Amino acid sequence: MLQFELEETRDELCRCCGRHFSTAIGWVFRDGTAYSAYRAVFGHEHETSKAIELQIVLGNWDGDASERDLFVLFITFQASSLDVSVMDASGAAWAGVLAEPLGRQQALSHERMSEVFSLCEAIASTDRRLQMLAV
């Protein structure tokens, strides 16, 4: 069973255009053990769609694990329809910080990709901050 721990939503300014956007960070636990982290970026004033940029970190969270044991996936999805698109994670904010970024083709062929799609569904149905965008 997945449990979610949600940090407060933060309002930020875009470095390229100075407009407002929000970030929401969540931590996911499976049966009480660290499983995933995610950072959702939404509400960007210069974006015309209601797409959410979602950076998901998965991998080995053991105390001895290094950032090479984790990987970042960069996904955009529409909150209202759960249309998911896998993007190149090299430009993601968490790329190289928490984990190794995956390119689009690497991500699509990754052995845990079906797990990622299920996780996206769980995030979208659990995190009320993202659900508000579907209205």
135 residues of the chain, pLDDT tens digit each = 899 999 988 888 877 778 788 888 999 999 988 889 898 887 766 555 567 888 888 877 777 665 556 677 777 776 666 677 887 777 666 555 566 778 888 888 888 888 888 898 898 888 888 776 544
Q: Are 77 and 68 in contact (CB under 8 A)?
A: no
Model pTM score:
0.80
Q: Where are the domains of the chain?
A: 2-134
Partnered with residue 87 across adjacent β-strands are: 74
Distance set, CA 103 to CA 2, 75, 109 (Å) = 27, 11, 10
| The pLDDT value given to residue 98 | 63
